[in-house]
Structure 1
Amino acid sequence: MRKLQISRRAALAGVTVTAAATVVALDPANLGWLTSADAETGGIRVPDLDGELVVDEESRAEAADDYGHIVHRTPAAVLRPGSVRDIATVIRFANKHGLKVAARGQGHATFGQAQAGGGIVIDSRTLATIHRIGTGHAVVDAGVQWLDLIKATLAQGQTPPVAADYLGLSIGGTLSLGGIGGATSQHGLLVDNVLALEVVTGTGDIVRCTRTIRPELFHAVLGGLGQFAVIARATVRLIPAATTARVYHLFYPDLESMTAAQRTAVADRRFSYLEGQLTPVEGGWTYMLEGVMYYTPPSSPDDAALIGDLAPVSTEITDMPYFDWLNRIYDLVQQLMALRMPGPWINLFLPDEATDEYVAELLTETTPADAGGVILLYPVLNSLIHEPFVRLPDSPVVFLLALLRAVSPPSDAETQRLIAVNRAQYDRAVAVGGTHYPVGVIPMTEADWKTHYGDSWPAFRSAKRKYDPRNVLTPGQAIFR
C-alpha cells in the first residue's frame, strides 16, 4: 500500500490540505483505522487508491458539519478521490465491511444529509475537472461548482439553462436533489437539463447512463437523494447565452395580488427568470414579483408587453450584465457561511389552489427573525418537471415556498424550536397536498418518506434494492433505516 498525497487539482479546487494521516488498513477488532505508521500490526488492507483516505481530526470534523450546523455525525474516514475508480473501490470496500458512505460536495446541506457517522465521506472537491465544452453541452466532474462551469461556458457564448440562486454549489450535489432557480419557470429543474451521467452504484459499479442507455438508473439518480449511486460525472445541456439581464421588481399591496401576477407570468413563460419575495417590514410584509428578461443588445425587451397586464402598484427596472445577475448573492452567502449560524431551513412545494391560504396563515405566525429574512415563492409549471423522484403536488402550477432561516445569535434552544415549527408547517403542507423539497430541516420518519413518494414509493424502494442492496449510500437522509 502506497501513501499518496493530495493532487494539485485538489488544491486548486479549494481543499484545505493538512498533515493528514493516510489510511492503509481497517482494524476490525477495534473498528478503527490503521495508518502507515501502525499498519505493521495487521488489519484489513485498504485497496490502492489514486487519491487518499484520511483520518485526521480536522478532515473528519469538516465532514461532520454542514451549512446548517445542526447535525454533527463524525465519519471514520474521508476519501479524497483521485479518480472515479477510487469511489468505486471505497464503495466496494464499504459493502464488504459494513460501512456507510456519503458523497459531500461543498457542504451546503442543512441537516446532515451528506454525513456518514462512523462511515466514509467522499469529498468530491478533488474531482472538479471541466472535461469538455461542446455546442449545446458540457462534460464535468461532480465536484465542479456551477460558478466555475458558468464562467467557462460564458467564455464560449453558452450557459446552462437553469442556475440555482447560489452558484457555489457542486454539480453532483445539486443533481442529487433536483436543483431549482428562477429559470425553472422556463426550463424545468437542473435535473431536467442533464444529458448523461457517469455514476458509481451502491454495489461499486461504474455505470454510464442516459435517457436511452440504462434509463431506469439515469432517472432514479437525478433527484434520487444519493440513494442509488454517487454521481461522478455529468453531461449537462447548454443554450446560447445572453449578455444582459433586465430585472423587473414589481410591488403589490398583498399576497393575493402578487401570486395572481405570478400565475399570469408563468402561464405564458414570458420571463427568463421568475420568483416572488416576501420581506418583513414594520407592521407587515412587502410583496414583490421578481421577473428577469435575458437579452443581447441591440435587441431589448418590450417592457410594456412584459409587465403591462401584471398591474403592480410600483415598478423598478434595472439592467445588469448576465453573469453579475446570476452571481448576485455569492458574496453574501460566503459572508453568512463564515458566521456559522444554525440554519433550520424549510422548503415546501405547495399546490396552486392551496398556496395563498397556506402562505397567508404562515405569515401571521412568522416573525422577521423566524423568516430568516426574505421568504421566497417560486411558481413552477408541473409539466416542465420530468424526473420521477422529484415529488411535486398534483397541480398544473406549484409554488416552492422557501424560508432560509438563520439563528442569530446561535442558540440550540431556538434552533430546536424552529425545527419543531418546521415539522408543524410540513404537516400542514402535506394535509393540503404539498411535498418536501428535501434540502431543509424537517425530521422525517420512514412513514413520512412513504407518504412523500406516494405511488412512486414501490419504485423507489425497488431501485434501492437493485442498486444499493446493502443500504450503504447516503444514510443522512434517513429514508431506509
Structure 2
Amino acid sequence: MNHHTSRRLILKGLVASAIVIGFDVCERSWVTSASATSIFESLPALDGVVYTDNATLTAASVDFGNIVHRQPIAVLKPGSINDIVQIIQFARRHQIKVAARGQGHSTYGQPQVEAGIVIEMSTLNKIHFVGTDRVVVDAGVVWSRLLQQTLQQGLTPPVLTDYLELSVGGTLSVGGIGGATHRYGVQVDNVLELEVVTGTGQIETCSQWQNRHLFTAVLAGLGQCGIIVKATIKLIPAATNTRVFQLYYDDLATFTHDQRLVINDERFDYVEGQMIAKDTGGWRYLLEAASFYSPPNIPNKSLLLAGLTYTQGTEQIEDKTYFDFLNRLAPTVAFLKSIGVWSYPHPWLNLFVPNSAVETLVSEVAANLTLADTGQGPILLYPVKTKRFQLPLFRVPKGEIVFLFALLRTADPPNSSTVTKMLNDNRKLFEKNRDLGGYQYPVNAISFSFQDWKQHFRPFWRYLISAKRRYDPDNVLTPGQGIF
C-alpha cells in the first residue's frame, strides 16, 4: 500500500444488501450498506485507514466472550487522535453508531456495533512521557508494555489487573480491579488527567481540577460520554521482587475472616483469593497474597502470617520478580491459545457482594456448583475497601468492605446449549446478589435491561443521563452496552 492510499481509506468487499445503517442529515435520506461506499468517500483525509473488507469486519464482530456477534460496516484503524474526531463527526452527521475497541477482551459484545463503525484503538499505542510520578500514554497501549517501560525507571502503576494484555482505555472505561485495590482503589482512582473525544467529535482535556464533570462521566462510564484517547496515570516506586504466599482453607468463614484481616491492616501489598475444586468433591479456598520488596530488605514471614488460621502444612511460598508475578497469567494464556480453548465462548460473571452477605451467598453457590458449571474456569473471591473508590459511576454495595465474586466461565463443550445454561445461571445469580444489595462489575456476559441499568447507576442515574445529553446528544457512542 502506498503512502497516499494509507492516508485515505480502503473500501473493499462492502456487502451490497440494502441494510439500513443510518440517516444522512445532509441529503435527508436513509443510508443503506449498499450506498455506504459513496458516503465513506466523503470522508476528509485521514492519517489512518478505514477498512470495509469482510475479514476485518468479521474480526471486529468477535470478542473474547465469543457469544454476541454484531458486524460493523467499517473499521477505523486511526493514525492519529484527529482521525477519531473526524470519524465521530462523520458518524454523527450520518447518524451511524460508533464504538471503540481496545483488545476485544469484552465478553458480551460491548465494543461491537451492528452496521456501525468500530474504532480499533490498538494503533494508538504511544507512550509519550514517563516522569517521576506519572506516565502519559495513548489509550491503545496495553498494561504489560506500560509496566515494562515504567519499571526501567523503578516505577509502577499502583493497580494492575490480573491479565496485563488489556488496553489502558479499555480498563479505564470499566474500572480496572486487581490485587492492590484494597490499598489504592481501582485503576480509575489513579488517573490524573484524560484526553477524550466526546460524542460531538470534540477533543477535551479533563481532570479533577479541569472539566471535572466530563472526567467523572468517562472514568468507569462504559464509553457512553466519550472515547478515552490519552491518559495520565499516577506512578509509585516499584519493588524488584515479590514473595508470594498461597494459603489454603477448608472453611469459608475462616477464609473470609482472614481476608478481611489482611486488607484491614494492609500487611500485604497484594491480596486476592479463589475457590478451588477438591479432588474428592466440594471446594477449598485459596488466599493469594504477596509482599513486594527490594533486597537487601526481605519480608518477615512471621509477621505476615501472624494470626492467620489457614490449614497448616498446605501453605506455599515462593519468590518471583515483580514483573513475573504481575505477568504470571501469560504462560497459562499462551497454553490456552495453543489448544484452542481461548477462542471458546466465555460467559463470565463478576459480582460485588455485600460484606454481610458474602458467606451466605457463596456457600449457597458452592453447595450446588460443579466444574462443569464453570468449564473449569477460575472462581475469584476477595475483599476490597470501598473508601478507596472515588468515582461515582464505579458502583459497589454499601459498606466499608465488599467482595468481588467472579465466575470466569468457559463454555466447554463450546455449544449453544452450554452457553445458554451459563447465561441463565449468570442472570439468576446476579438477581440473587442484587436482591442482597449487590452490584455487577459490568464486564459480564449477562442480559441487562434499561431498568437494570437504571438500578445499577442510581443514585447517579440522572447524572449519567445529563452527561450523555451533554457529551453525546445524538447517542452515537458505544451502543453495545445497551444502556440507552
Q: TM-score band, normalised by the shorter chain?
A: over 0.9
* Offset of residue 3 of structure 1: 5.4
The answer to whether residue 163 in structure 2 is matched with residue 162 in structure 1 is no
**Structure 2 Cα separation of the partners of residues 283 and 310 of structure 1:** 25
Counterpart of 1:327 in structure 2 is 327
2:131 pairs with one of 134, 141, 150: 134
The answer to whether residue 403 in structure 2 is matched with residue 402 in structure 1 is no
2:282 pairs with one of 270, 281, 284: 284
Contact between 1:22 and 1:54, CA under 8 Å: does it hold in 2?
no
Q: Deviations over 1:67-105 (max 9, x none)?
A: 000000000100010111111111111111010000001
Q: Helix, strand or coil: the match of 1:379? A: strand
**Structure 1 Cα separation of the partners of residues 335 and 479 of structure 2:** 30
Match of 1:252, as an amino acid? Y
CA pair 335-68 structure 1, distance change in 2 beyond 3 A:
farther
**Structure 2 Cα separation of the partners of residues 318 and 85 of structure 1:** 48
The answer to whether residue 184 in structure 2 is matched with residue 187 in structure 1 is yes
CA pair 399-112 structure 1, distance change in 2 beyond 3 A:
same
Match of 1:262, as an amino acid? Q
Match of 1:292, as an amino acid? A
* Offset of residue 478 of structure 1: 0.0
Contact between 2:378 and 2:409, CA under 8 Å: does it hold in 1?
no
The answer to whether residue 445 in structure 2 is matched with residue 441 in structure 1 is yes
* Offset of residue 348 of structure 1: 0.3
**Structure 1 Cα separation of the partners of residues 393 and 40 of structure 2:** 41
**Structure 1 Cα separation of the partners of residues 331 and 427 of structure 2:** 31
Gaps of 5+ in 2: 15-23
2:366 pairs with one of 350, 363, 367: 363
**Structure 2 Cα separation of the partners of residues 355 and 272 of structure 1:** 23
Contact between 1:249 and 1:317, CA under 8 Å: does it hold in 2?
yes
Percent sequence identity is: 46
* Offset of residue 409 of structure 1: 2.2
Contact between 2:92 and 2:476, CA under 8 Å: does it hold in 1?
yes
Contact between 1:280 and 1:373, CA under 8 Å: does it hold in 2?
no
**Structure 1 Cα separation of the partners of residues 403 and 202 of structure 2:** 38
The answer to whether residue 391 in structure 2 is matched with residue 387 in structure 1 is yes
CA pair 297-6 structure 1, distance change in 2 beyond 3 A:
farther
Q: Deviations over 1:225-246 (max 9, x none)?
A: 0000000000011111101000
**Structure 1 Cα separation of the partners of residues 13 and 250 of structure 2:** 60
> 275-284 vs 161-170, which deviates more?
275-284
1:373 pairs with one of 372, 377, 383: 377
Counterpart of 2:197 in structure 1 is 200
Q: Helix, strand or coil: the match of 2:214? A: helix
**Structure 2 Cα separation of the partners of residues 280 and 438 of structure 1:** 26
Counterpart of 2:462 in structure 1 is 458
Q: Deviations over 1:379-418 (max 9, x none)?
A: 1000001110000100110001111100122111110111
Counterpart of 1:12 in structure 2 is none
> 394-403 vs 360-369, which deviates more?
360-369
2:356 pairs with one of 353, 357, 361: 353
The answer to whether residue 146 in structure 2 is matched with residue 143 in structure 1 is no
Contact between 2:412 and 2:418, CA under 8 Å: does it hold in 1?
no
**Structure 1 Cα separation of the partners of residues 256 and 40 of structure 2:** 62
Match of 1:343, as an amino acid? H
> 304-313 vs 148-157, which deviates more?
304-313
Match of 2:369, as an amino acid? T
The answer to whether residue 90 in structure 2 is matched with residue 93 in structure 1 is yes
CA pair 226-29 structure 1, distance change in 2 beyond 3 A:
closer
Counterpart of 1:317 in structure 2 is 317
* Offset of residue 283 of structure 1: 1.5
Counterpart of 1:71 in structure 2 is 68
**Structure 2 Cα separation of the partners of residues 242 and 49 of structure 1:** 43
CA pair 291-409 structure 1, distance change in 2 beyond 3 A:
same
CA pair 43-242 structure 1, distance change in 2 beyond 3 A:
closer
Q: Helix, strand or coil: the match of 1:249? A: strand
Contact between 2:7 and 2:47, CA under 8 Å: does it hold in 1?
no
* Offset of residue 34 of structure 1: 6.8
Match of 1:32, as an amino acid? S
TM-score by length of 2: 0.92
Q: Helix, strand or coil: the match of 1:245? A: strand
Q: Helix, strand or coil: the match of 1:89? A: helix
Contact between 2:63 and 2:106, CA under 8 Å: does it hold in 1?
yes
- 1:258-273 equivalent positions in 2, closer than 5 A: 258-273=255-270
Q: Helix, strand or coil: the match of 1:383? A: helix
CA pair 131-67 structure 1, distance change in 2 beyond 3 A:
same
1:418 pairs with one of 412, 422, 443: 422
**Structure 2 Cα separation of the partners of residues 100 and 167 of structure 1:** 29
**Structure 1 Cα separation of the partners of residues 284 and 298 of structure 2:** 29
* Offset of residue 141 of structure 1: 0.3
> 132-141 vs 328-337, which deviates more?
328-337
**Structure 2 Cα separation of the partners of residues 44 and 269 of structure 1:** 58
**Structure 2 Cα separation of the partners of residues 44 and 277 of structure 1:** 53
Q: Helix, strand or coil: the match of 2:429? A: helix
Q: Deviations over 1:138-193 (max 9, x none)?
A: 10000000010001111111111111000000000000000000011111101111
**Structure 1 Cα separation of the partners of residues 382 and 390 of structure 2:** 17
CA pair 109-6 structure 1, distance change in 2 beyond 3 A:
farther
CA pair 425-154 structure 1, distance change in 2 beyond 3 A:
same
Counterpart of 2:19 in structure 1 is none
- 1:235-274 equivalent positions in 2, closer than 5 A: 235-274=232-271
Contact between 1:279 and 1:373, CA under 8 Å: does it hold in 2?
no
Match of 2:455, as an amino acid? T
Counterpart of 1:177 in structure 2 is 174
2:347 pairs with one of 344, 348, 355: 344
* Offset of residue 304 of structure 1: 1.1
Q: Deviations over 1:327-363 (max 9, x none)?
A: 0002322443543110000000011000110011111
* Offset of residue 33 of structure 1: 6.6
Counterpart of 2:21 in structure 1 is none
CA pair 4-22 structure 1, distance change in 2 beyond 3 A:
farther
The answer to whether residue 305 in structure 2 is matched with residue 307 in structure 1 is yes
Match of 2:302, as an amino acid? A
Contact between 1:177 and 1:439, CA under 8 Å: does it hold in 2?
yes
Superposition RMSD in Å: 2.0
Contact between 1:100 and 1:474, CA under 8 Å: does it hold in 2?
yes
TM-score by length of 1: 0.93
**Structure 1 Cα separation of the partners of residues 105 and 333 of structure 2:** 11
